[in-house]
Homo-oligomer: A and B are copies of this chain.
Amino acid sequence: MKKKYHHGDLKNALVENAIQLLECEGLPALSLRRVARETGVSQAAPYSHFKDKRALLAAVASEGYRRFSARMRKEADARPDYYTLSLGMGYVLFALENPALFHLMFDGQLSEPLDDEAFNSYQLLVDGVEQHPLGVRKSPHGKTLGTAVAWSVVHGLATLLLNKNFTPQDYGFTEMESFVEHVLSSSLHPPNEQAKP
């Protein structure tokens, strides 16, 4: 390929290389200059497409959410009979497969205004839970607390596994996937009835 003054697709190339760098060398290695260098443009070139470094990271996170949604859907489509459980497994597996990206997405430091792509991901999970109710107690005001519980379990499990706060081995499991499935089904498929307040 030829070396052109105008790259032609720099914006996407920057995001792509940023993701590459992020997953290969981690967040600390992700400098704007480095991304630019790796993309073959000068240090200030990214500023034609992104206001900030944070804007680049936001774009990276946005792409992350796109893949996140896809990963969850893939898992859920494969097991429609366990829709909610599969969504959750997709959630956790994505985190384990893309640690740095997942971390960036949920870092909080950047996403002040909630991205569309992010919102869609959340909605996927929320809708899944709402449409496949779990038998969890309703809140006093009639909205299902189950969504909050499910989201919390899934997100917490993903985070704690990432940080190696515990491992499947700690619980006698040899395979990650089996462990995740058991943990999630423990909390996502509670018994039919509910105890008193």
Contacts and interface: CB of A to CB of B under 8 A. Distances in A.
A105 to B, nearest CB: 10
Nearest to A157: B152
B153 A149 contact: yes
Contact of A159 (B106, B143, B187, B191): B106
Contacts of A195: 189-192
B141 A183 contact: no
Given A148-B166, A153-B153, A191-B195, 9 more contacts: A139-B171, A143-B172, A145-B186, A152-B156, A152-B187, A155-B160, A156-B159, A190-B191, A192-B195
Interface in A129-181: 136-137, 139-143, 145-149, 151-157, 159-160, 162-163, 165-166, 170-173
The count of identical subunits is 2
A115 to B, nearest CB: 12
B166 A151 contact: yes
A81 interface: no
B109 A172 contact: no
A171 B160 CA distance: 25
26 contacts: A26-B109, A122-B165, A136-B186, A136-B187, A141-B171, A143-B170, A145-B182, A145-B186, A146-B186, A148-B157, A151-B156, A151-B166, A152-B153, A152-B154, A152-B156, A152-B157, A152-B183, A153-B156, A153-B187, A155-B156, A155-B159, A156-B156, A156-B157, A159-B159, A191-B195, A192-B195
